Chain A
């Protein structure tokens, strides 16, 4: 069973940055990829971006391009998501999840999730 353990809640000022970590048990990311998603109050789930296991590249959703950075440290099985230029609308629960990519006729959906990290942006 894959487990994804995320870092704790954060409170940030507008304009600052936040970095959230996601440590996986076993080889969760290399073969399946890892994605970051968020759930803001009153909104639906949003896919922010992730590391594509088929290409080895990092892909970002257009609305987050340029403001988010996702990396993975394979030696520690840990993925990181850093979001910059925070604004109040970024207040949300941020999730890491295994999967999020298709390639070669196979799709890896979001089958394992972290418990979420609450990021509050407030002055």
Chain B
């Protein structure tokens, strides 16, 4: 199965700053890559699919890029509701697999 590795495990950011999260796949997943946000006590929420396409209702402050094995999620102007855990997930190969998550915390 495809191993997804996210970095860093924890990212400390000041409010209103920008955060960049990385995700690496152990083999090419093309652009079959999604990002999810999970706030404390809530279910995950789909943010991005197709490596760079925002899901319905997701604001433009969330942007993503990459293909093959290297992917990035960028969150601009962080606000309180953006401090959460973010997961990448590949759907190129079965079984679909997730990264271990990056926690974005307030600095």
Interface residues of B in 23-49 (CB under 8 A from A): 32, 34, 36, 42-46, 49
Query: Does more than half of chain B's interface fall in helix, strand or loop, or is it mixed?
Result: loop
Task: Specify which of A62, A100, A109, A114 lies most central, judged by the most chain B CB atoms within 10 Å of its CB.
Answer: A109
In the complex, which of the residues A44, A102, A111 contacts B46, with contact meaning CB atoms closer than 8 Å? A111
Interface contacts (Cβ under 8 Å), in number, total 49
Chain A contact patch, size range = 20 to 34
Chain B contact patch, size range = 20 to 34
Name the residue of chain A whose CB is nearest to the CB of B97.
Answer: A47
Q: Are B43 and A47 in contact (CB under 8 A)?
A: no
Check A109/B46 contact, CB under 8 A, given A43-B100, A44-B87, A45-B87: yes
The residues of B with any CB-CB pair to A shorter than 8 Å are 1, 4, 32, 34, 36, 42-46, 49, 55, 87, 89, 91, 94-101
